[in-house]
Amino acid sequence: MYDFAIVGGGIVGLSTGVALSQRYPDATILVLEKEDRWAFHQTGNNSGVIHSGIYYKPGSYKAKFCRDGAQSMVAFCQAHNIPYEVCGKVIVATSAAELPLLENLYQRGVQNGIPVARLTAAAVREIEPHVSCLAGIRVFSTGIADYKQVCQTYAELIRQRGGELRLRTRVDRIINTPTGHVLETNQGAFETRFLINCAGLHSDRIAKLGNVEPNAKIIPFRGEYYELTPETRHLVKGLIYPVPNPAFPFLGVHFTRMIDGSVHAGPNAVLSFKREGYKKTDFDRRDFAEIITYPAFWKLAATHANEGIQEMIRSFSKAAFVRSLQRLIPDLTADDVIPAHAGVRAQALREDGKLVDDFLIIHGERSVHVCNAPSPAATSSIEIGNAIVAQIPAPSNVQSAARV
C-alpha cells in the first residue's frame, strides 16, 4: 500500500509529488499518468508565461499563489538550470473605453503587491516600438519559462527521492476502503492511504469515481494560436497584452515571445467538443453530450453569447483573427502569421452557470481533489503543491521533515 497516490502527471500533480517528497521523505508516493509522457495536455500546450498575478481578485488563491509562484518558479529554474527570462510585459489600452479598465488593472496590481508602472503611449513604444495604443502599464515580474522542462525536473526529483512514476496508466475505477482507496487501472490495481486528484481535464470525473461531488463540471475551451514568421518576429520584443474584458474569463489575444525566440499570437477561446480536442474537427460523443445536457452551460452561453460568437468567428476566419492582432500591432498582415499549436483549458463551470474564477480544491474522505486549475496553474505550481500538502493530515506511519 502506498501512503499517497497522485492521479495526473501535469505540472500540478508533479509539483504536489515534489512537495510530498519534501515534507514526508519516508512516505511511499505513486504518480499515475494515462499518457506516455509528462505534461501532455494543459501544461505542455500553454504559452510558457510566468504570470505576475495582476488579473486576479485580491485575497484569492490565484492572486496569492501566482504572485508568490512567480518568485518561486524563477528560483526553481535558477536552481535547476532551466531556461527562463523575466522580461516583463505591457498591457495596453487601444480605445478610450479601455482607459478606466486599464487603471482598474493597475490598482489591482498595487493591491496584489505586484510591481507595476503606468505608461504613456510614448513610453510603451520605447519598450514595444510597433505597438499602437493610448496608454499602458508595465508589469515587471512577468516572464517566460520552459514548463515541459520544469515538469521533467519535478518528475526526476520525485524519482530520486524514492517515488514511483507510472506512465500509460489510466484510472478506471476507485474503490473506497476503510483504510484508503484502491485505484483500478489498465495496468492493474494500486492501493493507497490517501488520494490526490490532479487530473486536469478529467478531474471532475476522477472526483466522482471517488464518490466526491465537485458541484461543477469541466467545460473544455480550445485556445488556438498563430505564430509570427521568422521575418516578422522583430515586431514583438517581449509580451504584449490587451486590456481584458472583465466580464469574460479570458485575457484576449496577445503576443508572447517564447523561450526559444519564436513569437506566438493568441489564443482565442472556443468551446471544444472533446476534452482533449486540439483540432477543430475533434469530437467525442460522451464529452459533447455532457456539455449540451448540462443546464449550466446554456446559462453560460446566454450570458456570453456575443463574446462567444466573436471567438468562433476568429476560430474560422484568419482575417478576423489578424484584425484583433492589428489592434495592438497595426503593421501586422495576414502573411506575417502562420497556424501554430492549440491548447485546451479545463474550466470548471458551477451549476448556477458561473465559471469557477479561482482554483477549486475539494476535500473528500482521505482525498483531495483539484477540480479547477487553469492558468496561472503553471506559474503557481510550487505554491499549489505546497498548499495541497499543508492541507493533508500527516500519515501516522511516517514522519514529516522540516526541509524545503
pLDDT tens per residue across span 176-217: 999 999 999 999 999 999 999 999 999 999 999 999 999 999
pLDDT tens per residue across span 323-371: 999 999 999 999 999 999 899 999 999 999 999 989 999 999 999 999 9
pLDDT at 382 over 90: yes
- Write down the residue that cell numbers 474560422 correspond to: 316
Per-residue model confidence (pLDDT) at position 375: 86
State the Cα–Cα distance between residues 70 and 79, nearest whole angstrom: 14
pLDDT at 256 over 50: yes
Phi/psi for 344 (5° steps) reads -125, 125
pLDDT tens per residue across span 101-112: 999 999 999 999
pLDDT at 372 over 60: yes
Phi/psi for 281 (5° steps) reads -90, -5
Per-residue model confidence (pLDDT) at position 62: 93
Percent of the chain having pLDDT more than 70? 98
Q: What stretch of H or E contains 30?
A: strand 29-32
Q: What stretch of H or E contains 342?
A: strand 337-350
pLDDT tens per residue across span 334-343: 999 999 989 9
**Strand ranges (DSSP E) for 301-336?**
none
State the Cα–Cα distance between residues 54 and 244, nearest whole angstrom: 12
Q: Which band of pLDDT confidence, cut at 50, 70 and 90, is reported for residue 306?
A: confident
Percent of the chain having pLDDT more than 90? 88
Cβ within 8 Å of residue 179, ≥6 positions away: 1, 193
Per-residue model confidence (pLDDT) at position 308: 86
Per-residue model confidence (pLDDT) at position 401: 65
pLDDT tens per residue across span 48-95: 999 999 999 999 999 999 999 999 999 999 999 999 999 999 999 999
pLDDT at 402 over 70: no
Once rounded to an integer, what is the mean pLDDT over residues 269-289?
96
Q: Which three cell numbers stand for residue 217?
A: 463540471
Helix 318-326 with 305-316: angle, nearest 10 deg: 110
Amino acid (1-letter code) at residue 403: R
Q: What is the mean pLDDT of the chain?
A: 94
Per-residue model confidence (pLDDT) at position 97: 95
Per-residue model confidence (pLDDT) at position 404: 38
Per-residue model confidence (pLDDT) at position 394: 81
pLDDT at 249 over 80: no
CB 209 within 8 A of CB 394: no
Cis peptide before 267 (omega within 30 of 0): yes
pTM of the model: 0.94
Q: What stretch of H or E contains 203?
A: helix 203-209
Per-residue model confidence (pLDDT) at position 396: 73
pLDDT at 128 over 80: yes
